[in-house]
Amino acid sequence: MIRLLIADDHPVVRAGLRAVLESEQDFAIVAEAATAERAVELAAEPGVDVVLMDLQFGPGSTMNGAQATAAITARAGAPRVLVVTTYDSDADTLPALEAGATGYLLKDAPPEELAQAVRAAAAGRSALAPSVADRLLERMRTPAAALSARETEVLGLVADGLTNQRISQHLHLSQATVKSHLVHIYAKLGVDSRTAAVREARGRGLIR
């Protein structure tokens, strides 16, 4: 029996996942969490094999799903974490996978794909949404042209309308470092402005 913890701030989503997963004879829903912090607490208790983790939580959470994933997987003997979310940009997938997520699935995945991903995660195998897997392969094929996690983070803040000064404060970097990241981003994307960089990155699925 694979014991599951569902972590999502939307009751309807939790109910939907529960309905789908409880139809599988080898799954048991042992806990639910509406905040990232509660997910970390419950995952530390015995009896959880896989955590189904959303990435974005509401105002009740100070952590996001990637941060919760890192906190969970840092412990010895921790359960596996399978991210189940609506977001599939590099800005979302890279932090989650770097945090230790075993798999990454989208909420519109068919029920049988979700069940297969849970079983794979429980066995310690990777389970990735096709769009995520495709972009990770592309990053491997052309590493020189791929944005780093930090560059993706910087560009995401540019897309949010932050100035270089505010980005430097937010990320605790010097403004010179922020400018250096932007120069590298422009070169990799083949653009020469912030607006063009955001447009190109969104077109490639690198940021939301």
pLDDT of residue 161: 95
How does DSSP classify residue 147?
A: P
Confidence of residue 139 (pLDDT cuts 50, 70, 90): confident
Q: What percent of the chain has pLDDT over 70?
A: 100
pLDDT of residue 196: 95
Rounded alpha-carbon distances, angstroms, from residue 67 to 47, 97, 105, 203 = 22, 11, 17, 27
> Per-residue pLDDT tens for 140-150?
888 878 898 89
Contacts of 94 by beta carbon, 8 Å cutoff, 6+ apart = 149, 152
pLDDT of residue 47: 93
Is the predicted pLDDT of residue 102 greater than 90, yes or no?
yes
Edge-to-edge, what's the strand order for the sheet holding 27-33? 27-33, 2-7, 50-53, 80-85, 103-106, 127-128
Rounded alpha-carbon distances, angstroms, from residue 50 to 58, 142, 146 = 22, 33, 31
In the predicted model, what is the mean pLDDT of residues 185-196? 94
Is the predicted pLDDT of residue 115 greater than 90, yes or no?
yes
**Cβ-based burial of 55 (10 A; exposed 0-12, middle 13-18, buried ≥19):** buried
Kindly report which listed range (22-26, 128-132, 141-145) carries the lowest average pLDDT score.
141-145
CA 13 to chain centroid, in Å, comes to 17
Is the predicted pLDDT of residue 59 greater than 90, yes or no?
no
In the predicted model, what is the mean pLDDT of residues 118-123? 96
Q: Is the pTM of this model over 0.85?
A: no
